[in-house]
Chain A
């Protein structure tokens, strides 16, 4: 637990000190949101209908940059190897890093919401519920993303490999998050929000425990 907190503190501090990178990732996400609208055309109704999907796609694309970047620093001067030799618990390292990535992606998601509202004229719905859902959805991206980023950052072609491994895996996150976001924004007459949120929560719990369990093997190999 103390190792996880120390790793979280270290990663949060690193993210704060390199906040320029976060701004770049945010601009990338906002650019993606802008570009998606060109695929639909100026039809206001269609744009509003696809707003939730575009928000999560922009977040997913931007997350690959943020996740890769979060582990890249550990590779310089073999810092990760040094941490493992300290010895710091790999499980603690994973949870610290995954939590820091989660916080970063959640802030990114919440920061992209006003752009979505402005660009697509989307109704905001219940803002607090939307923020809660972004927290759940970004946890689902961060849990497997941190594990895969730790693997792919160490090989050539990592910019291709991370999305290649992560995107098929997070299909349930994307489906649940998009549907739940739509329901929050446009209303939920059939009471489906609970099911999608539950699915997202199950995915988060399964992947947070499974990836925590396997992370040690990845960094120790």
Chain B
């Protein structure tokens, strides 16, 4: 059954997001099995390195989620309506979850490798700032009752927060740097590529499905909020 119209379009209730998220979980299982059981042991770091197979794809996809959130924020301001606002809400929440996971995975890797759970390295600090900045915007959304104001304000705040990311990165880089340089296909052995790539697509599909489902929930909530009270119908 199609729900009430939002922006003049019915809210989709297809099973596609579930299928995409399911494909993501399946790929993630294959990639993780490959990374944990079949990929060779790294010479210097040993088994600790295997966290790379989830850590690096999580980082890529978290940045992708925030970039998508930025795109949604710009589209929401330019085009109006609530379609992009619901996507913005979904992308911010999934981005915050992925970035929080990124920080946790990084800490688990850092303790045996660097000897500390946390270091004030540019990437760690920038990720932490991103989590806090977008969590603040999610909190702002929960405090604003008027949907039109909520859409505009969160879009404005998301644009400002996203523009801040490269400045935070460079400021912290000047301040302190410990994180290793980015790897590239030329610097990583071919034996490590496949689990990394499979997990990257796994998390990408999972993120895509979750954003679509979360946007659907946001749209349904909004429809309920915008609907006239029972007596007025």
- The secondary structure that dominates the A interface is helix
Residues of B within 8 A of A (CB): 77, 125, 129-130, 132-133, 135-137, 139-140, 143-144, 148-149, 152-153, 155-157, 159-161, 163-164, 167-168, 170-172, 174-175
A210 to chain B, nearest CB (A): 6
A181 to chain B, nearest CB (A): 14
Complex: A165 Cα to B174 Cα, angstroms: 24
Count of residues in A whose CB is under 8 Å from the partner chain? 34
Partner of A210, one of B139, B148, B155, B160: B160
Among A171, A175, A196, A214, max chain B CB count under 10 A is at: A171
Are A161 and B140 in touch, CB under 8 angstroms? Answer: yes
B165 to chain A, nearest CB (A): 10
User: Could you list 23 examples of A-B contacts with CB < 8 Å?
Assistant: A147-B156, A147-B160, A157-B143, A165-B133, A165-B140, A165-B157, A168-B130, A168-B133, A169-B161, A171-B164, A172-B167, A172-B170, A175-B175, A195-B174, A199-B167, A199-B171, A199-B174, A202-B167, A207-B160, A210-B163, A214-B159, A221-B149, A221-B152
**Contact flags A206-221 to B (C-beta < 8 A → 1, else 0):** 1100110010011001
- A144-B160, A151-B153, A175-B172 known; A169 and B148 CB under 8 Å? no
Complex: A157 Cα to B136 Cα, angstroms: 12
Are B77 and A175 in touch, CB under 8 angstroms? Answer: no
Among B129, B135, B136, B168, max chain A CB count under 10 A is at: B136
Are B171 and A175 in touch, CB under 8 angstroms? Answer: yes
Given contacts A164-B136, A176-B171, 5 further A-B contacts (CB under 8 A): A152-B140, A164-B135, A169-B133, A172-B167, A217-B155
The reply on A22 being an interface residue by CB < 8 A is: no
Q: Find the A residue at minimum CB distance from B157.
A: A165
Are B167 and A218 in touch, CB under 8 angstroms? Answer: no
Closest 3 CB pairs of A and B: A172-B171, A221-B152, A168-B133
B118 to chain A, nearest CB (A): 15
Complex: A176 Cα to B125 Cα, angstroms: 15
